[in-house]
Amino acid sequence: MIPIFSETLLKCTQCKFVTANLGIDDDALKMIYNPNYFNGEEYLNYLQDKDIIQLNFEKRIHFIEKNRSDKLPLRNCLEIGCAFGFFGELLKKNRSISYKGIDIVPEAIQYGNRVLNLDLSLGDYLEFSAPEKPYTDVFMWDVIEHLQFPEKFIQKISGELASGGRLYITTGDFSSFLSRLQGKHWRLIHPPSHLHYFSKGNLIQLLGGNGFKIINTTYPPVYRSLRQIFYSLFILGKRKRALFEKLINRLPEHWNIRMNAFDILFIIAEKS
């Protein structure tokens, strides 16, 4: 491993995989993913952006259904890193399926259980027992880059998916043009919340080594609220924020923009 970007990251000279140059344990993760993570830290106000977040999920569900084969119906679903359950709420709408979500943020799990009436569980997926019936579909939306041990997650998912079951992953593509152009200033480089930085190639290699074949890779556009965009650009991690905080409060909550920097990779893989 060699240090890059002022030793912020480490890069493997052979496989080109990139990881954050730091160690992190379970206690540190709990401090990162505290109640403020979704309200004032990583996100300005995640709950407030529910409609816009679900708009992105609607587009993904439509894409999945349009491109899914009929040999294994969508039946027993797991979402890892489900947050408040916004995706699960949409997925279950007008569908007779089993859905379970897992996350490590207590407040998010409580909201999904009580408000959305979903089956959400608090904890580390690696510590959960295998399901009674194999999963048909597992979803990881912008999650794999946050994990301490991504390969262990992929291995466990592979063991719990039915033959022909599908795994859906979105994550930043470290090999994208924008990432290479911006270098250490790429917006998705921010440890300790983002611990791993995948390229399309090494993510495909990881999946292939664990019994998956790639069904589809694409770079879909996403919708973002203007408030969240403004917050990420001018407030998050900045020292001088008072003026920008006043300006952001004047932006209408529902305003959003469709964006595509072609650096968010969406992979659908099938268990062989």
Q: 98 by DSSP, 3-state: which?
A: strand
Task: Output phi, psi for 38, to 5 deg.
Answer: -95, 0
Q: 67 by DSSP, 3-state: which?
A: helix
- For residue 227, the surrounding DSSP H or E stretch is helix 226-234
pTM of the model as a whole = 0.94
pLDDT at 220: 97
Per-residue pLDDT of the chain (272 residues; tens, 9 = 90+): 899 999 999 999 888 899 999 988 888 888 899 888 998 888 989 999 999 999 999 999 999 998 877 778 999 999 999 999 999 999 999 899 999 999 999 999 999 999 999 999 999 999 999 999 999 999 999 999 999 999 999 999 999 999 999 999 999 999 999 999 999 999 899 899 999 999 999 999 999 999 999 999 999 999 999 888 888 877 776 665 666 677 777 778 788 999 999 999 999 999 98
Residue type, 272: S
pLDDT at 241: 65
Residue type, 91: L
Please report the domains of the chain, with CATH numbers, ordered by start residue: 24-172+199-271 (3.40.50.150)
DSSP string, 47-65: TTTHHHHHHHHHHHHHHHH
pLDDT at 232: 80
pLDDT at 111: 97
pLDDT at 221: 97
Pairing status of strand 196-197 against strand 120-122: unpaired
Q: 258 by DSSP, 3-state: which?
A: strand
pLDDT at 239: 62
The CA distance from 8 to 268, in Å, is 30
The CA distance from 154 to 83, in Å, is 19
100, 79 contact by CB (below 8 A): yes
Q: For residue 268, how many other CB atoms are within 10 A of its CB?
A: 19
The CA distance from 247 to 38, in Å, is 20
198, 15 contact by CB (below 8 A): no
Task: At 228, list the tokens.
Answer: 């969240």
Cis peptide leading into residue 134 (ω within 30°): no
Which residues are paired to 218 by β-bridges? Answer: 266
pLDDT at 41: 84
